[in-house]
A and B are shown apart, each in its own frame.
Chain A
């Protein structure tokens, strides 16, 4: 009998605690693992410096975060979604279908994507988008013809590069970083080398050719990393000849083991990215659920605190950690103040 009693009382406790869960007093954030470090810095400082509880910041990726953001409104859904890309139209529709309408978009700043290799490895110090396209595309231009990628060494298509075997660790397709890598590097290389035109001439439609441009070779010389940058770093450690794709902040934390390459002659630094000189960078965002402002205590204050000059400004802790601060910070601050939805 006592077992039945215990079970019943346990279920009762569970039910009571589930009801108690309805009163949430902390901000809940989820999304991009690129934005996570910045969000966690802000969340900790927010807890330390205000009377609000410290927000919870979960990781999981931009798409997963936005999907959860769009699940609906209410205290069991998240208040803020972090994203390393802009919200897509489909996601806005999905949101609207679930009653999430007043979405406030906040651009935090910019993040640079760098190509780095082992500090003692071959001399990978300067790349152009064409080099990476030649190294990683499934089909490249050789003597004016589009052929299956014959290259196995960097020096085969650019004599300035070291005679080392091609091996690149690139972000997997579920990462926001992959999109930037494809658009700002591979697609650019595709056009520069003339592969795009060759594809069009071969009878492909423009859309098909654009898609084909973004493909990477599948013979094992280009490896997708679905985990985070620590995994890429471990792969680089194990392969002296390999190059890997990292966020600028991650690289700056590991300058003792990694060396970085310039892209089209520009070195990736917070200055070159802020000035727009370094080509491979992207804006970072977070999205606030308008309907939760005033319901979840501290939500608007969190957003205001995040974008305050003391934090997101050029001298703040976020810039310290590698974020390239947004020159239009004041406009963003005004937007949050006015709760201006998209």
Chain B
């Protein structure tokens, strides 16, 4: 008779222990790797949000002005009309200061250069659009200069201010009076989302709107060209093409093309579309064509993968009931592969949306996104920038106000990218079939 075992038959020998320990270690490495990755993500996101969120608000100065017909005519008669409108605010600010019991008197330079620089265009446009307001008191909410808004937000301290053409120490007395009277406030800056690019000395008025439109038209070009060409190429290669050396060569080259650095496509675009075909410089059409070249391999590869994942039984069944090869592909295989194709396309578009390098070469940096297009055709062919190129341009400008705008632009770009990726995920969840 044998004694019944007291515990499990399994005795863990040294070798098994070692293997188990190795597995545990490997799991720990994995967790550490994920933690490091997450940490970088958190650091990245917080730094983007911290630097970029201020771009969505601006410091506005509420200034009341009464522009008479004579003022209006006099200003319109000048070469630099916008500066003349700014100068009209001087009297009102001085009236305000006297009413506050202050003895300070400001001059024209204070308004036009240091308090609310480059805001004359806003005032001029208002009166051109509302001529009935001439002679009436109107309150304008004008964006304050970078330094005054930093002072208002507490980022710039009085003792750090040295007299310069941007800000004089004595200006702060006036600003303090205005803050006390509630004239200076922080407001959500719609202009940042809807506005156009501005000149280098006017960070307060800059907006990303025009370049969002530029990106939009570029994406339309990419979608209209890359999707049909990419899908047609993949269907042919996957379903119809004979397997021979030529198609093998094509396949290898498509995979290689996907790995080509995007700047190469930029040089190609410059040489072919602009210098040879004489398409307009810095046009979203050209940008879209260049990005199409870049996106095509991505779309072809993902489309072929989704066509491949449709089981052969579907094709066989269709052919079995007498469908032609084309009918089998278009009526049965393609609809089933569609979710995968769309996901691949959206991911490709998102990649193209964030691409900067090729746009640098086709003239999209500088002072380009300065106006909205007039219409659909103008949207394709008139000079415009794109979001990543606009961010790049802002980051390179000397005024620190633009640096903040660049971070804000990154947030807008990220929102678009996240939305596109979210749509891709939803489409896949909704329509994906498992076999």
* A contact set with B: CB distance below 8 Å: 3-4, 6-7, 10, 13-14, 16-18, 20-21, 24, 26, 28, 30, 36-37, 39-41, 43-45, 47-49, 53-54, 56-60, 71, 74, 76, 78, 227-230, 249-250, 252-256, 305, 308, 310-311, 316-317, 320-321
Contact = CB atoms under 8 A, between A and B. Distances in A.
Contacts of A254: 398
B395 A230 contact: yes
A10 B165 contact: no
Contact of B380 (A17, A45, A57, A253): A17
Contacts, number: 145
A37 B232 contact: no
B398 A308 contact: no
A48 B370 contact: no
Contact of A229 (B82, B228, B398): B398
Contacts of A20: 377, 381
Nearest to B125: A48
Given A7-B232, A320-B165, A44 B199 contact: yes
Interface of A, helix, strand, loop or mixed by DSSP: helix
Nearest to B146: A253
A202 B120 CA distance: 64
B160 A256 contact: yes
A21 B280 contact: yes
A58 B381 contact: no
Given A36-B366, A320-B201, A58 B80 contact: no
Interface in B219-254: 221, 224-225, 228-229, 231-232
Contact of A253 (B120, B280, B377, B399): B399
A253 B164 CA distance: 10
A250 B398 contact: yes
Given A54-B370, A58-B363, A18 B279 contact: yes
Contacts of A45: 80, 82, 199
A17 B367 CA distance: 23
B283 interface: yes
Contacts of A256: 160
B58 interface: no
28 contacts: A6-B228, A10-B224, A10-B228, A17-B285, A18-B277, A37-B398, A40-B200, A40-B366, A45-B80, A45-B199, A47-B370, A47-B371, A48-B81, A48-B82, A48-B124, A54-B371, A56-B282, A57-B367, A58-B368, A71-B275, A76-B279, A76-B280, A228-B396, A230-B395, A253-B398, A310-B80, A321-B200, A321-B201
B150 to A, nearest CB: 10
Given A6-B228, A44-B370, A76-B281, 10 more contacts: A20-B377, A30-B366, A36-B366, A41-B199, A44-B198, A56-B370, A228-B396, A230-B397, A255-B164, A308-B79
A106 to B, nearest CB: 17
B225 A10 contact: yes
Contacts of A13: 224
B362 to A, nearest CB: 10
A253 to B, nearest CB: 4
B418 interface: no
B202 A44 contact: yes
B228 to A, nearest CB: 4
B67 interface: no
B121 interface: yes
B4 to A, nearest CB: 74
A45 B79 CA distance: 10
A311 B80 CA distance: 8
Contacts of A26: 382-383
A252 B164 contact: yes
Contact of B381 (A3, A10, A17, A321): A17
